[in-house]
Amino acid sequence: MRASILCLAMACLLAGPGSQGSEDPYAPARRQMVREIEADVVQTRREVGTKSLDRRTLEAVGRAPRHEFVPAELRRFAYDNRPLPIGFGQTISQPYIVALMTDLLGVEAGDRVLEVGTGSGYQAAILAELGARVYTVEIIPQLAERARLTLARLGYRAVEVRDGDGYYGWEEHAPFDAVVVTAASGHIPQPLVRQLKPGGRLVIPVGGPFMTQELVFVEKTAGVVRTRQVLPVVFVPLTGGH
């Protein structure tokens, strides 16, 4: 009896914060997904400029319960390395792309990060797993509300969701250490560059809808803005009145 109580206590200790414990039936699938992400990075090493992502990025992806962010009827595909529909014509991005964009942002614990395009809330959860304070804007109110509920239920208290047009950023919480846009824009929105701190990073798919876009990395250093094209990607379009 005493031994089994001790075992239970040990299991709790091992589970740690943010983890679902040893009972999480999705854990093996999630580990497999992380291995596939690592393999994709190796495959694209020339474009992305590295053959491996930061260990912290992979750990964050290895912790966040993606199955909680996809519609119930698609849960069995939650850890496939591909995008999935989340309703309203929108998608949760491919895990490899989420990991890559997160890694490019170089997020440190305590950073203030703006996300444009909350969608399911999954990318925001990954950023929160890295210890960031996340401000995320979603233009479809129903998606914003659903993401808000999901993130709250899972205990992601460091994420604030607002519905509105993210093209204009989130002035009240600027400046940001990093900004990630998860919908494709024809150009880099200047309000987002303005709301970056010096030394800040912005990652955004640039290009028209229904064509291949380029994932662009933007770095702002003391008044100079440098950009680098990383990889061809396909994202839903950034909408709104701009």
Residue from 57, 93, 94, 213 touching ligand SAH (CB under 6 A): that is 93
Using CB under 6 A as the binding criterion, the count of chain residues that bind ligand SAH stands at: 24
> What HEC string does 15-68 produce?
HCCCCCCCCCCCHHHHHHHHHHHHHHHHHCHHHHCCCCCCHHHHHHHHHCCHHH
String marking each residue 164-193 x if it binds ligand SAH according to CB under 6 A: -xxx--------------xx----------
How far, CA to CA in Å, does 178 sit from each of 21, 98, 100, 108, 240?
A: 31, 15, 14, 10, 22
Q: Identify which range of 43-51, 59-67, 137-145, 151-159 contacts ligand SAH by CB under 6 A.
A: 137-145
Shortest gap between Cβ of 239 and ligand SAH (angstroms)? 4
Q: Is 57 in the site for ligand SAH (CB under 6 A)?
A: no
Per-residue tokens: 138: 């979603």
Q: Is 68 in the site for ligand SAH (CB under 6 A)?
A: no
The closest alpha carbon to 180, from 232, 242, 240, 128, belongs to 128
Q: Are 54 and 109 in contact (CB under 8 A)?
A: no
Which CB sits closer to ligand SAH, 45 or 187? 187
Which CB sits closer to ligand SAH, 15 or 214? 214
Which CB sits closer to ligand SAH, 49 or 164? 164
Shortest gap between Cβ of 91 and ligand SAH (angstroms)? 6
What strands, in cross-sheet order, belong to the sheet with 213-221? 159-163, 133-138, 112-116, 176-181, 196-206, 213-221, 224-233
Q: Hey, which residues does 213 pair with through a beta bridge?
A: 233
Q: Is 134 in the site for ligand SAH (CB under 6 A)?
A: no
Q: Are 205 and 185 in contact (CB under 8 A)?
A: yes
Catalytic residue list: 93
Residues near ligand SAH, by CB under 6 A: 90-93, 116-117, 119-120, 122-123, 137-140, 143, 165-167, 182-183, 236, 238-240
